[in-house]
């Protein structure tokens, strides 16, 4: 038996005669973890690092030879990729299997921070979809908002609400992703504190909390909609037993997802209803511990009154975005205090529905601040996929890091090649933020709250 893994957990997993207990213990004792990234398809086409190969269940993801210091990589701050455990990327494969990438859907990531699954959904779903990314913990919702901002799409809404708030939108979402808070045994290699905090009592507590989260939010899922339920736990009480609990209601049916044999994913079944589940073990594949199941809502679900709301006249001066935003005809513009935002026009009514029942942290893309009739561009605009081709200054790695530290770039502005005024700071073709090139200096407009410290 392992000297540091909880004996109660290992013993329970070992009840399954197909479970390789020795290999499971060995991979945790060795502590060697796979590093993977998922590319932002709107910004990057090729892996920027030495790759060990593609993640087989996610089309734009790669295993890396070595783990870089992502904090010091300008491409990370540009939103060109997202470092994510490969097991969690299985959601991309599920979306392809269910063909949710072929038509627009309204999706909710209920427990969204820090943003790995939200950015994955934003890339994998049909581009005309609406994504609501929620996080109940106020200190974590800002991280979620920042990661979606770096991803660069305007079809997202970030919210800070208790799961129960979403029951005020009955039958609204086509897809709900619930990556539920759990006892964390799947993260033992990644987080030593998870081992110290694990106990059978905590597993029971987490199972009860997961049931509460689901019970208080599932009215928001429409009839015929899909629930993706996942945890980073190995305990059946938080996984297959929750699936049985959902199937007990009669409102759901289990969905089987095709999995290739050579992927190393365990296809499991719940004890009572034989509901499908998918387990990821680090001794069998390149990823951490993970569980996911897909259920389809078949029970009747009332839908809230989607009355058409009369469009409000925009306070944004006409034509002010012409020099900044492409495809502006497809975007709804609105003013929040002095800040101009853009949001998909097809979801203008939806934004009102959401505002009426939820606390919104952010909606769409903040384009900039209105100063009289001039627009002062925002950092979100610099990283947005809607920004027009704008004059840019290409930086070396050293200058790019100095820019991200919000330090002075260079007193000698000759490398800016005659550019004056607002310009994009760019590294290897990726936008980092704004600078203002003057005759004798360059003003660095990288946000103070995002600046990196020198490691």
The residues near 6 (Cβ < 8 Å, ≥ 6 apart) are: 185, 195, 198, 199
Token reading at 24: 């499971």
Tell me whether residue 235 is in a domain. no
CA–CA gap between residue 134 and residue 173 (Å, rounded)? 13
**pLDDT for residue 419:** 85
Task: Report CA dihedral (21, 293, 146, 353) to the nearest 10 degrees.
Answer: -160
Residue 23 to residues 12, 13, 79, 236: CA-CA distances in angstroms? 15, 12, 36, 20
| Statement: residue 173 has pLDDT above 80 | yes
Q: Per the annotation, where are the binding residues for S-adenosyl-L-methionine?
A: 135, 162, 179
Model confidence pLDDT, tens digit, residues 223-246: 999 999 999 999 999 999 999 999
Q: How far apart are CA 342 and CA 365, in angstroms?
A: 5
Is 232 among the residues known to form the active site? yes
Answer yes or no: is pLDDT of 414 > 70: no
In a domain, 393, yes or no: yes
How far is C-alpha 295 from the geometric centre of its chain's CA atoms?
A: 21
Domain CATH code at residue 407: 3.10.450.720
Mean pLDDT, residues 13-42: 94
- Binding-site residues sit at 135, 162, 179
Q: From CA 38, how far away is CA 394, in angstroms rounded? A: 24
Q: What is the mean pLDDT of residues 114-125?
A: 98
Report the C-alpha gap between 411 and 399 in whole angstroms.
12
| Predicted local confidence at residue 193, as pLDDT | 84
Domain range for 443 is: 389-450
**What pLDDT was estimated at residue 3?**
58
107: enclosing H helix or E strand? strand 106-109
- Whole-number average pLDDT of the chain: 94
**109-144 as b/e, with b when 16 or more CB fall inside 10 Å?**
bbbbbbbbbbbbbbbbbeeebbbbbbbbeeebbbeb
Answer for the pair 173, 108: CB distance below 8 angstroms, yes or no. yes
Q: Please provide the size of the chain in residues.
A: 455
Residue 27 belongs to a domain = no
* Whole-number percent of the chain with pLDDT over 70: 97
In a domain, 249, yes or no: no
Overall number of domains in the chain: 1
The answer to the question of residue 424 being in a domain is yes
Segment 371-389, tens digit of pLDDT: 877 899 999 999 999 999 9
Q: Is residue 242 part of a domain?
A: no
Q: Which of 111, 182, 206, 232 is catalytic?
A: 232
Q: Is residue 350 part of a domain?
A: no
pLDDT in tens, 41-70: 999 999 999 999 999 999 999 999 999 999
Q: What pLDDT does residue 1 have?
A: 47
């Amino acid at each position: 038996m392992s000297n540091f893994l909880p004996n109660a957990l290992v013993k329970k997993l070992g009840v399954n005669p197909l479970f390789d207990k020795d290999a499971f213990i060995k991979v945790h004792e060795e502590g060697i973890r796979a590093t993977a990234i998922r590319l932002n398809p709107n910004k990057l086409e090729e892996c920027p690092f030495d790759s060990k190969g593609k993640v087989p269940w996610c089309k734009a993801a790669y295993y890396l030879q070595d783990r870089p210091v992502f904090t010091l990589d300008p491409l990370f701050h540009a939103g060109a990729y997202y470092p994510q455990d490969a097991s969690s990327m299985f959601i991309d494969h599920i979306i392809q299997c269910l063909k949710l990438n072929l038509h627009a859907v309204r999706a909710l990531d209920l427990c969204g921070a820090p943003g790995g699954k939200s950015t994955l959904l934003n890339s994998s779903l049909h581009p005309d979809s609406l994504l609501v990314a929620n996080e109940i913990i106020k200190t974590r919702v800002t991280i979620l908002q920042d990661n979606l901002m770096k991803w660069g799409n305007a079809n997202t809404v970030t919210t800070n609400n208790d799961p129960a708030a979403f029951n005020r939108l009955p039958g609204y979402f086509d897809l709900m992703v619930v990556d539920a808070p759990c006892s964390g045994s799947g993260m033992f290699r990644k987080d030593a504190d998870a081992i110290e905090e694990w106990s059978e009592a905590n597993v029971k507590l987490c199972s009860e909390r997961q049931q509460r989260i689901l019970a208080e939010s599932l009215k928001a899922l429409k009839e015929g909609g899909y629930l993706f339920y996942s945890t980073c736990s190995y305990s059946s009480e938080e996984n297959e037993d929750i699936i049985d609990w959902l199937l007990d209601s009669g409102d759901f049916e289990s969905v089987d997802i095709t999995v290739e044999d050579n992927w190393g994913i365990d296809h499991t079944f719940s004890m009572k209803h034989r509901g499908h589940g998918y387990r990821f073990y680090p001794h069998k594949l390149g990823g951490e511990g993970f569980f996911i199941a897909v259920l389809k809502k078949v029970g009747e679900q009332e839908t809230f009154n989607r009355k058409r709301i009369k469009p409000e006249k925009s306070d944004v001066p006409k034509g002010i975005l012409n020099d900044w935003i492409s495809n502006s005809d497809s975007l709804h513009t609105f003013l929040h205090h002095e800040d101009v935002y853009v949001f998909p026009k097809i979801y203008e009514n939806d934004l009102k529905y959401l505002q009426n029942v939820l606390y919104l942290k952010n909606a769409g893309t903040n384009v900039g601040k209105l100063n009289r009739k001039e627009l002062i561009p925002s950092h979100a605009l610099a990283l947005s996929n809607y920004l027009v081709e704008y004059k840019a200054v290409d930086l070396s790695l050293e200058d790019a890091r100095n820019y991200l530290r919000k330090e002075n770039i260079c007193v000698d502005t000759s490398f800016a090649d005659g550019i004056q005024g607002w310009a994009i700071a760019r590294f290897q073709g990726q936008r980092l933020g704004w600078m203002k090139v003057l005759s004798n200096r360059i003003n660095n407009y990288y946000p103070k709250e995002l600046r990196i410290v020198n490691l």
